């Protein structure tokens, strides 16, 4: 199971929206819905933001949303805030391999 | 409130075996659907899943590291232990343990420990 592909960096101004993509293949992202997204500010542990493609854990602002189309999952952050600046990682669990794979991570800069 | 904390050596020599302990509270690893996993992150690099143990003692390992990893649990002590053999400098990373509960967030690690940095050097 290969790592998922994310853009190395994205940026946006406060109040804008940004979308981070997570691309796999028809055998992984295209076939399974256990896609999750994690936020990791510098020097801290990852925090779960989205699970099962589009579900938010309690406490996560509704500015964060997830979706999937074909072999690509996406995380959209609307109404960007300075505190959203962090690294973001997607992850996929596949029952066929009973294992997890992470994306390479995307650094979000709030301009 | 669920918390997890990793502990272990900060420095190991090449070829040695690394033993890390995850001590947790706020949940029981005998509850159906619950598991504890290990994920690592080399400095400046991406997250990498290593292993996971479920409430029923089912164990899963990263295919690329399976031969070097062993994960066990001690339910009475609320601990999960990960051992990694034949350590190499490329294994230098922050090692995290994390909670998973299929009843809450299937397939996702919803609570993470603070991580422990391990350096492999002679």
DSSP sequence for B71-90: EEEEGGGTEEEEEE-S--GG
Return the residue of A nearest to B63 by Cα. A99
Tell me, yes or no, if B106 comes closer than 8 A to chain A by beta carbon: yes
Residues of A with CB under 8 A from a CB of B: 1, 3, 34, 36, 38, 45-48, 51-52, 55, 57, 89, 91, 93, 97-105
Written as tens digits, the pLDDT of chain B (122 aa) is 999 999 999 999 999 999 999 999 999 999 999 999 999 999 999 999 999 999 999 999 999 999 999 999 999 999 999 999 999 999 999 999 999 998 889 899 999 999 999 999 99
pLDDT of residue A98: 85
Residue A90, classified by CB atoms within 10 Å of its CB into exposed (0-12), middle (13-18) or buried (19+), is: buried
Residues belonging to chain B: 122
């Amino acid at each position: 199971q290969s790592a998922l592909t994310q853009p190395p960096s994205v940026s946006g101004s406060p109040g804008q929206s940004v979308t981070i993509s997570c691309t796999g293949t028809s055998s992984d992202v295209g076939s399974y819905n256990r896609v999750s997204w994690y936020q990791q500010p510098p020097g801290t542990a990852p925090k779960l933001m989205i699970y099962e493609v589009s579900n938010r854990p309690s406490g996560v602002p509704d500015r964060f949303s997830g979706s999937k189309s074909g072999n690509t999952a996406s995380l959209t952050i609307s109404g960007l805030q300075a505190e959203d600046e962090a690294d973001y990682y997607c992850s996929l669990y596949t029952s066929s391999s009973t294992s997890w794979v992470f994306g390479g991570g995307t650094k979000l800069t709030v301009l | 409130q669920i918390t997890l904390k990793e502990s272990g050596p900060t420095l190991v020599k090449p070829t040695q075996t690394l033993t890390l302990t995850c001590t947790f509270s706020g949940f029981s690893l005998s509850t159906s659907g619950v598991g504890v996993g290990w994920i690592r992150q080399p400095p400046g690099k991406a997250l990498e899943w290593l292993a996971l143990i479920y409430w029923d003692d089912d164990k899963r390992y990263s295919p690329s590291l399976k031969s070097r990893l062993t994960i066990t649990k001690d339910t009475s002590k609320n601990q999960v232990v990960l051992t990694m053999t034949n350590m190499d400098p490329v294994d230098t990373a922050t090692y995290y343990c994390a909670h998973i509960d299929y009843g809450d967030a299937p397939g996702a690690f919803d609570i993470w420990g603070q991580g422990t940095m391990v350096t492999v050097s002679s």
